[in-house]
Structure 1
Amino acid sequence: MRTPLHTAIGRSESAFHIIETLICWGADVNKKDVFGFTPLHLAALDGLAHCVEILLFYDADVTAKTKKGTTALNVITRKTPGSLAMITQKFDDAMTLIHSQNPSEKEVELELDFRTILQHCYPREISYLNTLVDEGQKEMLQHPLCSAFIYIKWGKIRKYYIARLLFCFIFILFLTLYVLTALAHNCYNGSKDMEETIQEQELCQKQSILGNMLRRNPFVMEMQWLVLVAITFVEICRKLYGITGYSSIRRYVTQMENITEWFIIVSVFVISYIYTKRTYTWQNHIGAFAVLLGWTHLMVMIGQLPVFGAYVAMYTKVQVEFAKLFIAYSCMLVGFTISFCVIFPSSSSFENPFMGFITVLVMM
């Protein structure tokens, strides 16, 4: 059922005053109907900017979601974008300059009231700001009120983030060591003196004193994997607990960060020797890709530190532009690849379309 406040939403000239009167007499401005729509949803859907603004003035929750997951801010952005100025005005009203009562003192205090940001955010204090980002209003985070809140929040969680950064570094480091020693030079297979791995034994022995040591002491590689598995289980627990921080499973599985981390976690078990007491060539490829993704993910995490953010953001921007360029010229690249494979069939660089495509990319 809908409340009288839902019913009051309309295009009549008196709608504004009726809404204000109902709210002043205690009407719940964020009450939802059977479909999860608040009065703010209805006002925005009908394009009633004046109703949207009066509801925002009386602290209507822009993060409120319908049963289908549509936020009120999403509807406002599409239907009544001019009403977004009321949100900025609410931010402005939450900042107050307090002058000293002593005429001889020229000090001024700035008082910030974060209730505008926090009043609908329990238990997650940043859900309001997350909604601004999700609905394409990231520029609002540059408002002094939001910037101050983020600064204070960062001061509280900085030590935890750095701890997570160090843990991720240790995780990727052990993964890299295992891939380099057990997989890259086939030292684990070489340590088992398998007849079919004579060349693999030579490959390991050619790598220096370390290769000979690993071949004589396979337990070193086995201990590496056991430590890696222990770290991985801690990482799995962290990722599973992190699901609670998302509004839906769909949002969780569509985040590139989560996809990358889960691929790395799964790869730890895929590249193990434990199943058949040996390693295989295909595990090398998975391990190499996992290491690349791991260090790239660590770079992105470092880029979230304020001191390094600009450099990683610049790298990300360049990669996005390169991806656009690649898509634009992809048809021509395929054409060149097939043409060269036909013209130079005996060349090792064009012996198959895959190698040919890599060669053409290098020729760019």
Structure 2
Amino acid sequence: MMSLFPITYLVSTIDSGIHFEKMSETYITVNDTNGTLTTTRAPPIVFSRFQIAMMIQLTVVNLLEILKELGQMYQQRGEYFRDFTNVTEWTLYVTSVLFAVPFLTGYPLHWQFEVGAVAVFLGWFNLLVFLQKFDLAGIYVVMFMQILKTLIQVLLVFSFLLVAFSLAFTVLMKNEADQAFSNPIIAMMRVITMLLGEIGYVE
């Protein structure tokens, strides 16, 4: 829970588009004395002290959580892997570290923000699971988890129909002008939209 605020703050204050545009921008300068070309990269974005502190806290806390999970894994043995929350916690801790460390080392990577999106989602999801321990909210969390489990099972059954309609529409309307069913993936997205009640006629 201690990493929830840092990861939320960081993913909402660091602009991925601006950051990588500046990092990938190159400058070519010509040396007049011998006519050589030199290429230099733009300087990286400078983070505020608070952002750096949040990155350090995020990294340290999650590394400690990983050590805690390793201890639990050693104690519980096979029982550890039967609990689904352990999988989500491992994913949360690893993705949080992978999001923060490249910024701290000065070598940001393009997949950081995808990893950060997973981390912030799982952070808030784990908070929801944590609320299950309290009497006031516990019953609602249990109810939500049961509904989510049932919904996933129903969607797995209906996924066959989803694929069937998507492929059928792709075969019948592949060459339409609006390209709404040009390939099975786009057709599947359109069928999901139609299932939600949006006809989505394209002019």
The TM-score with structure 1 as length reference comes to 0.42
Is 2:66 the partner of 1:239?
Answer: no
Q: Which residue of 1 aligns with 2:40?
A: none
Q: Which residue number in structure 2 is paired with residue 298 of structure 1?
A: 127
Q: By how many angstroms is 1:240 displaced?
A: 2.3
Conservation of the 8 A alpha-carbon contact between 2:180 and 2:187? yes
Aligned pair 1:362/2:190, yes or no?
no
Query: Offset of 1:252 from its aligned partner?
Result: 1.1
| Aligned position for 1:258 | 86
Q: How big is the shift at 1:228? A: 0.9
Percent of residue pairs identical: 24
User: What letter is aligned with 1:228?
Assistant: L
Q: Distance in 2 between the 1:263 and 1:348 partners? A: 37
User: 1:333 and 1:289, CA in 2 relative to 1: closer, same or farther beyond 3 A?
Assistant: same
Cα distance, 1:361 vs. partner? 2.5
Structure 1 segments of 4+ aligned residues over 6 angstroms from their partners: none
- TM-superposed CA distance for 1:193, in Å, is 5.5
Residues 351 and 231 of structure 1: CA distance in aligned 2, closer, same or farther (over 3 Å): farther
The structure showing larger relative contact order (alpha-carbon pairs under 8 Å, at least 6 residues apart) is: 2
Contact preservation (8 Å) 1:179, 1:284: yes
Alignment pair present for 1:308 and 2:137: yes
Q: CA deviation at 1:311?
A: 0.6
1:175 aligns with 2:43: no
Please say if residues 58 and 97 of structure 2, whose CA atoms lie closer than 8 Å, have aligned partners that are also in contact. no
Q: Which AA in structure 2 matches 1:186? A: G
Q: CA deviation at 1:188?
A: 3.6
What per-residue deviation string (whole Å, max 9, x for no partner) do you get for residues 57-100 of structure 1? Answer: xxxxxxxxxxxxxxxxxxxxxxxxxxxxxxxxxxxxxxxxxxxx
- The residue aligned with 1:229 is 59
Q: Matched residues in 2 for 1:179 and 1:290: separation?
A: 9
Q: Does 1:334 align with 2:166?
A: no
Take 1:194 and 1:313, find their aligned partners in 2: how far apart are those partners? 47
CA RMSD of aligned residues (A): 2.8
Classify the secondary structure of the residue corresponding to 1:269: helix
Instruction: Select the residue among 70, 86, 109 that pairs with 1:279.
Output: 109
* Separation (CA, whole Å) in 1 of partners of 2:156 and 2:129: 23
Write the deviation string for residues 137-161 of structure 1: whole angstroms up to 9, x where unpaired.
xxxxxxxxxxxxxxxxxxxxxxxxx
1:189 pairs, out of 12, 15, 20, with 20
Q: Kindly state the Cα deviation for residue 278 of structure 1 after the two structures are TM-superposed.
A: 2.4
Letter in 1 for 2:73: I
Check conservation: 2:3, 2:57, Cα contact below 8 A: no
Larger Rg computed on CA atoms: 1
Match of 1:318 in 2: 147
How many residue pairs were aligned? 173
- Per the TM alignment, residue 232 of structure 1 is displaced from its structure 2 partner at its CA by 1.1
C-alpha displacement of 1:348: 6.0
CA offset at residue 314 of structure 1?
A: 1.3
| Offset of residue 360 of structure 1 | 2.4
Distance 2:80 2:74 in 1: 9
Please give the residue correspondences for 1:21-32 in structure 2 after superposition, counting only pairs within 5 Å.
none
- Would the aligned equivalents of 2:95 and 2:118 in 1 still touch at CA under 8 Å? no
Say whether the 8 Å CA contact 2:96–2:115 is kept in structure 1. no
Structure 2, unmatched stretches of 5+, are: 27-43, 196-203
Report the AA paired with residue 82 of structure 2. T
1:336–1:265 Cα change, 3 Å: same
TM-score normalised by length of structure 2: 0.70
